[in-house]
Structure 1
């Protein structure tokens, strides 16, 4: 409702954009992610669809003066995509759109379902057949999204249910509600991967993996957990890259096994995603894995930015201020300079397929446009 009011007038949009720029400058952030759940819904207005695009347009205009990054986290539900987004228009104004490919099922339903199925499960209802990652990606592309700006969001957590009957534990099994909260996340019906892998180390679990859902389900007694592991996330990355997406985003980094207590090393899920992206990238592997982050998700592009030394070496670009700059080696990418303490880090960033970097606007734009 608050987003709806802000976006409903030119004055509100401009005031919001100005406050965003001031906030980013004050705290030294590189950009902002807009996570409006969702235009036209939750006491919103039918005009939200148009106004969301206008809000992003005004933000883009304000942020370009500062070379800040603008991203949007968007719904994975086909019906919400249709109702909430002017897809082509919002594609023009953002650097990336992160499809939130999770929470497609959860304990708000009265039956079991995986929160992030890769594809539709055989035998499910017609409505259920639309609730999967592949359909979400295809819905965005069919609506005219710039595929080179699409990023697939993936969960580092699972959704839990309390089964009505422990002997009936397949998909679509009746439930009594959410599972008990975990010690860290503290939310009924949700467990971080770090909580799940610790819980499963106790033994006695039955783990299944539907070939289409392509992600694990763990069952013990009346507790049913649908979650993602290293294998399922790597398969999601592969699908995203096959569809031409820019890369991956995760929600959220603190629910990975960041201490490595489950015997798979630190941050095993994020490492699986990075490995899958590297295997499908022509870029050489680097010793440091830079990620583009917002205040919420962590984003990693498939054509990963390559960190280069920012020294006064002949033929090398030197960062003297933050922002986006023309890459002297290619017009299909740009140099991103990010402040780190009193110095700068330099990243070589790719432009989306079919676009080139424009010196005048400091943005990637379609190659056929007669703009410098």
Structure 2
């Protein structure tokens, strides 16, 4: 094929995926994947800008004075010979002139306290809005994603007042951003038991362009039994499902044209209590194995797991009610999504008339095409949105009936140890069904002088949350996600090399 014909063919493919449907595909990008090793490393240059309508850069943070700050200046900015990722990320719009780039602030590791304190103060809200606006405009983003996890939950400083304060923050942000034609999106808890605590849904929807519903992490190794990460439907006796979450948000007044369904590009791993009792709802004794590159127990990227399915012996089954696959190997139990299950979710969601789909997150798709076509999951979304009669498949696609598939056994490669690799858990965007590891400590109450987070002087990988009890301040020990440590200056779990840690 001539170079000219290859160019024309490439333009045609770009047109198909960008113009083949009028729905949104919101792609979150976990920037810490830049620091992963080998085939897990995912830089801005690895992003296929033709497969997303909105790209979300995660995360920047909130200082306790309300200022929006870079959490990794070396990665984000050009100063001091930095990698200048903000600029590179926004340059992707040269590849797709319809692409919108969004800067996300917050996430799971940020916690709720700084958001809660900021939203309660007119002065701090103004600081937040002004500095967020300046950062977005300076570096060429098209908008801001508010990822507060979660109002009136976790380490909130204001409690139930967060609900109205969140709406007020969005209202004031909307007034300022409209002056500059900037977008506002939000990442929100999915299930009713969490969302009902955190949001005045009609008011939230009133001030934002898109509502990204985190319909994943509905079950995980924090539960005592196995369950699907993102089941489309559930049978009696189970509560959390994608369909229930979407219908809850719609029933509470969120316009369908603003609703975006979340899709996980990763699986949740469990450790079975008994290898012979291995169905959905089987007893689990805790978190399962970690992915080779993501290096977080209980979590495996699709790119990591599809290669395991192709090189190891696994029993792969399909839950006809949940409409998702799961896999078993001795005491290993994994819930995940593949191209077929994703197509089912998209087809269901489109019947509700919603805006489109959101993914967490693109760096754990099979972006190298190790198991078939590159970006198999992202392509499956676009195909389903375009109403294609065929769904992109890979060698790990499960059939539509319960089936056991055996694959030859080979020796798997252990996760590499690399001191400069920065990994984090995707709990940066989870629903409140995730239960972080916490322990009420017997440490003296003198540790706490006010409510909120404080460092643990004996262990940088943990911190305390001080809460007013009946007889004084009660410190509760909290664990940072894997390979992160407490950053007391910014009040978040942060990359170790960015934090002075002596414990």
TM-score (norm 1): 0.73
Q: For 1:250 and 1:5, locate their aligned partners in 2 and report how far apart those are by CA, in whole Å.
A: 29
Q: Which residue of 2 aligns with 1:180?
A: 289
Whether 1:212 aligns to 2:321 is yes
Whether 1:48 aligns to 2:173 is no
Q: For 2:321 and 2:119, locate their aligned partners in 1 and report how far apart those are by CA, in whole Å.
A: 40
Query: Which residue, 5, 16, 35 being the options, matches 2:128?
Result: 16
Whether 1:59 aligns to 2:168 is no
- Secondary structure (helix, strand or coil) at the match of 1:65 reads helix
Q: Deviations over 1:1-48 (max 9, x none)?
A: 111001012222111110100111121111111111111001221101
Matches within 5 A, 1:220-231: 220-231=329-340
Query: Which residue, 252, 272, 277 being the options, matches 2:380?
Result: 272
- 1:146 offset after TM fit, Å? 1.2
Matches within 5 A, 1:229-248: 229-248=338-357
Matches within 5 A, 1:187-206: 187-206=296-315
Whether 1:83 aligns to 2:191 is no
Q: Which residue of 2 aligns with 1:70?
A: 184
Q: For 1:203 and 1:190, locate their aligned partners in 2 and report how far apart those are by CA, in whole Å.
A: 18
- 1:157 offset after TM fit, Å? 0.3
Q: Which residue of 1 aligns with 2:260?
A: 151
RMSD after superposition: 1.5
Q: Which residue of 2 aligns with 1:113?
A: 227
Q: Deviations over 1:288-338 (max 9, x none)?
A: xxxxxxxx99xxxxxxxxxxxxxxxxxxxxxxxxxxxxxxxxxxxxxxxxx
Q: Which residue of 1 aligns with 2:103?
A: none
Q: Deviations over 1:338-363 (max 9, x none)?
A: xxxxxxxxxxxxxxxxxxxxxxxxxx
Q: For 1:70 and 1:212, locate their aligned partners in 2 and report how far apart those are by CA, in whole Å.
A: 35
Q: For 1:81 and 1:156, locate their aligned partners in 2 and report how far apart those are by CA, in whole Å.
A: 23
- 1:205 offset after TM fit, Å? 1.1
Q: Deviations over 1:230-288 (max 9, x none)?
A: 011111111111111000010000000000011x21000000000001118xxxxxxxx
Q: For 2:255 and 2:182, locate their aligned partners in 1 and report how far apart those are by CA, in whole Å.
A: 20
- Secondary structure (helix, strand or coil) at the match of 1:207 reads strand
Q: Which residue of 1 aligns with 2:115?
A: 3
Q: How many equivalent pairs are there?
A: 277
Q: Deviations over 1:129-177 (max 9, x none)?
A: 3x00000011001111111100001000000001111111001111121
Q: Which residue of 1 aligns with 2:247?
A: 138
For structure 2, which runs of at least 5 residues remain unmatched after alignment? 1-112, 389-427, 430-503
- 1:80 offset after TM fit, Å? 1.3
Q: Which moved more, 1:244-253 or 1:177-186?
A: 177-186
- Secondary structure (helix, strand or coil) at the match of 2:326 reads strand
Q: For 1:213 and 1:140, locate their aligned partners in 2 and report how far apart those are by CA, in whole Å.
A: 20
Q: Which residue of 2 aligns with 1:162?
A: 271
Whether 1:255 aligns to 2:369 is no
For structure 1, which runs of at least 5 residues remain unmatched after alignment? 281-295, 298-372
Runs of 4+ with deviation above 4 angstroms: none
Q: Deviations over 1:206-242 (max 9, x none)?
A: 1111111100001011100000000111111111111
Whether 1:34 aligns to 2:143 is no
- 1:203 offset after TM fit, Å? 3.7
- 1:193 offset after TM fit, Å? 0.2
- 1:110 offset after TM fit, Å? 1.4
If each structure's helix is expressed as a fraction of its own residues, which one has the higher value? 2
Matches within 5 A, 1:338-353: none
Q: For 2:307 and 2:135, locate their aligned partners in 1 and report how far apart those are by CA, in whole Å.
A: 39
TM-score (norm 2): 0.54
Q: For 2:350 and 2:122, locate their aligned partners in 1 and report how far apart those are by CA, in whole Å.
A: 38
Q: Deviations over 1:31-70 (max 9, x none)?
A: 1111111110012211011111111111111111111110
Whether 1:93 aligns to 2:201 is no
Q: For 2:183 and 2:320, locate their aligned partners in 1 and report how far apart those are by CA, in whole Å.
A: 38
- Secondary structure (helix, strand or coil) at the match of 1:82 reads helix
Tell me: higher relative CO, structure 1 or 2? Use CA pairs within 8 A at least 6 residues apart.
2
Q: For 2:176 and 2:344, locate their aligned partners in 1 and report how far apart those are by CA, in whole Å.
A: 38
